[in-house]
């Protein structure tokens, strides 16, 4: 049996890897798995979105589901609306942070969380064997419009924080909306919290012409300059579907998501002592920051495979303070157990107000580390296991973790090597306690991987 679902949904280049025919079949298979019911569809601004929504709607209707369209909405907005507006499933048309040619499909369960891995396998099996549950002509439903989803989501985020506490501070926040749906929600949330909003890249543009759709310290470099020029308290940068939020502080420094999430996890443990003192994070997060800072405070850190689906379902099953990823995804279980960029932003402001501190002061409490990310092309059918064993031999004095890819933890540095779940590349993450070592480790590791690939494929 083939495999369609990657780390987070099904993705591909529009009209190549992701065709309307495939989109319709995914919807047919998902509806067959569901057995019928009401399904809420949403999208971000990516190319081909209307085409894919039409195909998804047709596929759902053909198998007895009733499709409803929420329009442009962040992924966490659709996820929040599904259970609260009594839908049986959601389908989000997005490729998240991927480049402009890509689009994708996320299948969301009745609880607002992307369906678990075993459900993905069942949906794939139905699709590849074309065991679709098609219904008679008189049971085919037309597409209807759902007008309340976005507003319900905005109200839900605002109601999850201490509005009066935040309003007293009269914060000023720069929002980089990635020219997509985060521009429709986060500014509304912030204005409801009495915050002055300066909106950057908040036009709806499927080409993402001003910056790439993935929020990183590099892609948010221009926005970081704005922080200091306007005297803002915070910068928040979203990806295309706004389930991620990368935070920049008042000093103009942009921080990876595991740093802001570590601060939020500590805050939640103090503000909500009834929650179990544990957090769940992807193996891609920093050992030095997460384990080094939270461990001594009595907070258990559980390492999981990369992918928000894994973290969400574990958080639901076992309970905890938070779930997060270094890419900016943060899950606040008292709101909803999925990545939510607007919720992360609002909670961060509540934390600043509660402590009476500047963002820069809070970030300065964390261990100082130097991360570098990169990638190398991955040949078709490349055996990652052989590469892992080669790297284990080379770094035999270090500790290894293979919960997802290969994570090598040494005394002054660590790195992670794993295949991307959304692109034909090998992702490399390196972090060290000084910048020179980080660069040396990264350059050596990248060259080692490239030479190994060349030796296998030549």
Residue recorded with tokens 């915050």: 195
Structure tokens at 69: 């369209």
Structure tokens at 117: 């891995």
Kindly give, in sequence order, each residue whose CB lies less than 8 Å from that of residue 147, ignoring residues fewer than 6 positions away. Answer: none
Strands (E), 133-253: 144-145, 172-176, 196-200, 234-238, 245-248
DSSP state, 64? T
- How far apart, in whole angstroms, are the C-alpha atoms of residue 118 and residue 114? 11
Q: Which helix (H) or strand (E) holds 377?
A: strand 370-377
Burial class from Cβ neighbours inside 10 Å (0-12, 13-18, 19+) for residue 130 reads exposed
- How far apart, in whole angstroms, are the C-alpha atoms of residue 296 and residue 300? 9
Structure tokens at 388: 């892992």
- How far apart, in whole angstroms, are the C-alpha atoms of residue 362 and residue 266? 11
Structure tokens at 199: 């909106």
- HSE-up of residue 192 (Cα within 13 Å, Cβ side): 21
Q: Which helix (H) or strand (E) holds 57?
A: helix 49-62
- HSE-up of residue 97 (Cα within 13 Å, Cβ side): 21
With contact defined as beta carbons under 8 Å apart, do 161 and 347 qualify?
Answer: yes
Which of 105, 102, 44 lies closest to 72, judged by CA?
44
Just list the catalytic residues. Answer: 96
User: For the chain, how far is it from start to end, CA to CA, in angstroms?
Assistant: 30
**Beta-carbon neighbour count of residue 136 at 10 Å?**
7
- Strand order, beta sheet including 300-304: 300-304, 278-282, 322-324, 330-331
Task: State the DSSP string of 344-362.
Answer: HHHHHHHHHHHHT--HHHH
DSSP state, 107? E
Burial class from Cβ neighbours inside 10 Å (0-12, 13-18, 19+) for residue 409 reads middle
């Amino acid at each position: 049996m083939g495999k369609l679902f990657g780390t987070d949904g099904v993705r591909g280049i529009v009209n190549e890897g992701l065709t309307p025919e495939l989109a319709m079949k995914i919807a047919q298979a998902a509806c067959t798995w569901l057995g019928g019911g009401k399904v809420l569809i949403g999208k971000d601004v990516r190319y081909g979105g209307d085409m894919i929504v039409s195909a998804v709607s047709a596929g759902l209707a053909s198998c007895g589901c009733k499709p409803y369209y929420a329009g442009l909405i962040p992924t966490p907005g659709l996820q929040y609306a599904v259970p609260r507006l009594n839908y049986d499933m959601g389908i989000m048309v997005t490729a998240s942070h991927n480049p402009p040619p890509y689009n994708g499909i996320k299948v969301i369960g009745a609880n607002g969380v992307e369906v678990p891995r075993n459900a993905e396998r069942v949906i794939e099996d139905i699709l590849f064997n074309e065991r679709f549950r098609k219904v008679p002509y008189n049971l085919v439903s037309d597409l209807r419009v759902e007008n309340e989803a976005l507003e319900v989501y905005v109200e839900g985020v605002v109601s999850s924080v201490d509005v009066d506490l935040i309003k007293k501070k009269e914060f000023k926040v720069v929002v980089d909306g990635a020219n997509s749906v985060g521009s429709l929600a986060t500014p509304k949330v912030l204005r409801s919290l009495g915050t002055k909003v300066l909106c950057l890249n908040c036009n709806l543009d499927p080409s993402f012409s001003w910056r790439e759709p993935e929020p990183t310290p590099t892609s948010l470099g221009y926005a970081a300059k704005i922080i200091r020029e306007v005297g803002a308290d915070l910068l928040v940068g979203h990806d295309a579907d706004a389930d991620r939020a990368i935070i920049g502080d008042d000093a103009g420094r942009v921080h990876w998501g595991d740093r802001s999430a570590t601060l939020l996890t500590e805050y939640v443990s103090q503000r909500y002592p009834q929650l179990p003192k544990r957090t769940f994070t992807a193996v891609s997060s920093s050992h030095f920051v997460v384990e080094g800072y939270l461990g001594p405070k009595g907070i258990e850190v559980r390492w999981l495979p990369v992918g928000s689906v894994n973290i969400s379902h574990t958080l639901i099953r076992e309970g905890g303070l938070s779930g997060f990823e270094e890419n900016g995804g943060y899950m606040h279980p008292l709101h909803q157990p999925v990545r939510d960029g607007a919720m992360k932003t609002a909670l961060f402001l509540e934390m600043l107000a509660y402590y009476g501190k500047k963002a820069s002061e809070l970030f300065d409490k964390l261990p100082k580390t130097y991360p570098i990310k990169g990638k190398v092309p991955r040949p078709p059918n490349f055996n990652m296991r052989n590469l892992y064993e080669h790297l284990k031999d080379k770094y035999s004095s270090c500790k290894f973790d293979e919960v997802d890819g290969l994570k090598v933890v040494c005394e002054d540095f660590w790195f992670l090597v794993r295949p991307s779940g959304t692109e034909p590349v090998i992702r490399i993450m390196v972090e060290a306690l000084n910048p020179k070592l980080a660069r040396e480790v990264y350059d050596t590791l990248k060259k080692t991987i490239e030479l190994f690939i060349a030796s296998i494929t030549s």
